[in-house]
Each structure stands twice: as structure tokens, then as C-alpha cells.
Amino acid sequence: MPQQVVKQKSRGFICVNAHPEGCARNVERQVEEARAAVTRAGAGRTARAGIRNALVIGGSTGYGLASRVALAWGYGAGTLGVFFERPPEDDRTATAGWYNSVAFHRLAHRDGLKAASLNADAFSDETKRTACEILKRELGPVDLVVYSLASPKRQHPRTGVVHNSVLKPIDYPYTSKTIDLSTKKIHEITVQPATEQEIADTVAVMGGEDWKFWIDALLAEGLLAEGARTIAYSYIGPTLTWPIYWDGTIGRAKIHLEKTARELDALLAGRLRGNAWISVNKAIVTQASAAIPVVPLYMSLLFKVMQEEGIDEDAAAQMRRLYLEVYAPGKALVLDGDHRIRLDDRELRADVQAEVTLLWPEVTTENLLEISDFAGFDRGFKNLFGFDVDGVDYSKPVETDISW
Ligand code: NAD
């Protein structure tokens, strides 16, 4: 394929293409930061025992990619990444997660780290079988399984039914300010409550059933090492967003994920002296979080407040904190009363939330750029697709037909 100049193309607020070099820069930055963190901690990666191999489900963007980088460069772990991305075709670019994964493989190869990737629907039985074959062939049993899927739909592997997830409140309509990401205007929206079927469908997509299917498949094939652990990610957020998040359909799915964590914890403890946990992470800009009504406006205010306090973290910083500090080998893990790791402690700090609560009624289309970090949110969103990334010359043609 001849090289081409790639300009950002959007449909509504979503970017429909991606820039391979911009995506590569993003991954390079994450890798450099992880290497620097390991050097600062004074430990070479070989000294970090405990995670030889990790399976990262949803490992091409957002928290999954950040986990994969932290585990590979933090522990020297071999990683299998499973994700569902569109490959390049003719002059159509691939999705960002594809290019992120190409960059991940290039850097892992450069640094002598084992890496394999599987681009397929994680919800299917066939993908689980193929992942097990890859592990047997290329890596061996895994010490850690990260479950970081964010998907709008799931075809159930046993029934064939396609479940679509929705982001809706439960029982009552919810009216709030929100930002239209394409017009950049603040307006009021009312979201009608979900039906019982929509709640059940959202739980089927974003709850823990598929996580359990993965662990069952790996156990059956003897691909979980003694002491193996698994972590899935959740979000709770402030009361401001509860009607649409924690008390809404997605919150129900997260409660199901927590229930699954307790079941898997008992299963892995009994079989392998292992563990299962939920890590409740901070709000960050990802393709998944930008799609939630109200949340992008909340994040724009939150980022401004957290930056002023010097405590803001992106996905990479959160995952370095999780895997290199909180979860460090030999260190007792601190859990909340519901068996969860809390990386959202800084977001939920009383002073941070008090400030966001003060700003919330004040923010308008006119003062948006002044009192919030919407500019940072907007740029962060473009960065996800490899656009507006420092150091990239967007007028230069690039090869888009690349693979790992
Ligand atoms: P994301 O959109 O950046 O990543 C989603 C990943 O899932 C990608 O790798 C994608 O390829 C993969 N995926 C989607 N459907 C798939 C399928 N059918 N088969 C295989 N892979 C598939 O999302 P994210 O925001 O990083 O979310 C990951 C997890 O973190 C979610 O559980 C989310 O709720 C949680 N979380 C997110 C935030 C946030 O603010 N973004 C905060 C806390 C917790």
C-alpha cells in the first residue's frame, strides 16, 4: 500500500480513522514512563518476580493497554493481548487499538519481551480456545489475567443471543447538564429509565459472566500458574454521576462483576492459592467513557481540579500505580470493605469533590474553557486516535497497512 497523509475524520464526535504514528508515539510514551518508574524504584525488571506471563483481555486501548505496558516493562512479563480492532483495508486506516498493538509489539521485540496478540471477539468460545493454544505454544501458564473489556454488545456463546448494553438510569428519568462533544455546547438532557430487558442485557455484556468463562477455560487447560490472580476494572465515581453510572444500568453490571470477583476469588483460592479482585479506577478519557452522557463534562471539571492539586493521573499512571506500587510483590494488598482495590481515592477526595460540586452549577458553554479542562479532555480524546500528538508531522505520508 502506498503511504498516505492521514487527516482526522469524524462522525459525530467519534473519530472513524486513526493515525499510526500518533498511536505509536502514545505507546512509546507509556513505555518510557514505565521504564523510568522501574528505574526510579531502583529495581531492574528481572528483580520483580511474580508475574512471568499475563493475559490482558481488552489490551489494545485505555486501561487494558496501560496494564499491558505496566506488566511488560514493570515485570518483564510475557503478554498475550486479546482485543477486537478493525485491521487496515486498502486506503482505510485500522482502528487506534490495532496501531497501538503494532507499536507495542515493535517495542516489546526491541526490549526482548515476549508478546502475542489475538484480534478476535473475546466473548466467543473459539477465541478462548485460540488464546489457550497461543499460550501453550508461545508463553505457558499465566500468573495474571486482566479483564478490561468495554464493549457495546456481546453475542452470548451458548445461546447465540446478541445483548446490547445501554447507559441509562434505572426507575426514574434523569435530567442533567451534559456536553455535546461534536458542537462543544452544554445543554440539558433527559435520559429515560431502562427497561428490565435493557438492564439484563447490560449486565450480560459488561457483567462478570464472560470473565468467569475465561477463567474456567484457562483452568480447564491448566494455563493458570500456581498462585494465579485475576483483576477486572470498575468505576464508582461521585454521587453527581450516580444516576447515570453507579445507580444505572452500567452500575448493575459492575455489581455483577464484583459478585463474580468474589466467586472467582473463592475458586482460585481453592484451586491454586490464587485471588480475584476488582480495581476501582479513576475516570479517564477513553472511547468507552466519552460515550457516557454527563461524564465527559464531569471529567473536564475533575481534571482541572486534580491538575491544580497536582494529583491527576492518566491511564498509564493509574496502571503503574496499580501494578508497581499497590500490587507490588511481597506487599500486602489494601482492599476496601467490599474486597476492592481503590485507585479512585484521589478522584473521590473530599476536597476534590467539593470543588467539582461548586463548579458544576457554574459551568456554561461560555465559561467552559476557563473553569474546566475541556480543552485537555478534547485533546486527550483526539490523542486516543493518534491525532494532535506532540512530535508527529501530520502533513507527512505514513504507511497505514501495518501489522505486528
Ligand atoms: P476502552 O474502550 O479504551 O478499551 C476497551 C477494550 O476492549 C479495547 O481493547 C477493545 O478492543 C476491547 N474490546 C471491546 N469489545 C471486545 C470484544 N468483543 N472482544 C475483544 N475485545 C474487545 O475502554 P476502557 O475505558 O479502558 O475500559 C476498560 C475497563 O475499565 C472497563 O471495564 C471500564 O468500565 C473500566 N473503567 C474505565 C474507566 C474510564 O474512565 N475509562 C474508569 C474506571 C474503570
Q: Residue 48 in contact with residue 74, Cβ under 8 Å?
A: yes
SS3 227: strand
Distance between the two ends of the chain, CA-based, in angstroms?
Answer: 16
> How large is the average pLDDT for residues 381-397?
97
Asked if the model's pLDDT at residue 45 lies above 80, the reply is no
Nearest-CA residue for atom 21 of ligand 1: 83
| 90-111 tens-digit pLDDT | 999 999 999 999 999 999 999 9
Rg (CA), the chain: 21
Q: Residue 174 in contact with residue 190, Cβ under 8 Å?
A: yes
CA of 164 to the centre of ligand 1 (A): 15
Q: Which of 14, 26, 126, 233 maximizes ligand 1 atoms within 8 Å of its Cβ, making it the mutation to test the pocket?
A: 233
CA of 58 to the centre of ligand 1 (A): 6
pLDDT at 47: 42
Integer Cα distance of 288 and 150 in angstroms: 6
Q: How confident is the model at residue 46 (pLDDT cuts 50, 70, 90)?
A: very low
* Longest distance between any two alpha carbons in the chain, whole Å: 59
- What nine digits make up the cell of 265? 476469588
Question: In ligand 1, which atom is closest to the CA atom of 206?
Answer: 32
pLDDT at 144: 97
Q: What are the angstrom distances between the C-alpha of 345 and each of 2, 125, 312? A: 48, 37, 11
**Site residues for ligand 1, CB cut-off 6 Å:** 58-64, 82-85, 97, 121-123, 148-151, 233-235, 281, 283-284, 286-289
Higher pLDDT, 156 or 50: 156
Nearest-CA residue for atom 18 of ligand 1: 121
pLDDT at 48: 59
| 277-288 tens-digit pLDDT | 999 999 999 988
CA of 251 to the centre of ligand 1 (A): 15
Asked if the model's pLDDT at residue 272 lies above 70, the reply is yes
Q: How confident is the model at residue 44 (pLDDT cuts 50, 70, 90)?
A: low
Question: In ligand 1, which atom is closest to the CA atom of 121?
Answer: 19
Q: How confident is the model at residue 377 (pLDDT cuts 50, 70, 90)?
A: very high
Mean of per-residue pLDDT scores for the chain: 95
Q: Residue 206 in contact with residue 250, Cβ under 8 Å?
A: yes
pLDDT at 43: 56
Q: Residue 234 in contact with residue 338, Cβ under 8 Å?
A: no
Report residue 176: phi and psi, to 5°. -160, 170
- What nine digits make up the cell of 307? 491538575
Q: How confident is the model at residue 11 (pLDDT cuts 50, 70, 90)?
A: confident
CA of 287 to the centre of ligand 1 (A): 8
Nearest-CA residue for atom 34 of ligand 1: 234
Integer Cα distance of 153 and 160 in angstroms: 12
CA of 396 to the centre of ligand 1 (A): 31
Smallest CA-to-CA distance from 148 within 215, 81, 232, 213 is with 232
Residues in the chain: 404
pLDDT at 328: 75
Indicate the residue type of 303: F
Integer Cα distance of 13 and 268 in angstroms: 42
| Residues marked as catalytic | 245
Question: In ligand 1, which atom is closest to the CA atom of 283?
Answer: 40
Q: Thinking of the domain 10-384, which architecture would CATH place it in?
A: 3-Layer(aba) Sandwich (3.40)
| 193-244 tens-digit pLDDT | 999 999 999 999 999 999 999 999 999 999 999 999 999 999 999 999 999 9
Nearest-CA residue for atom 15 of ligand 1: 151
Nearest-CA residue for atom 16 of ligand 1: 84
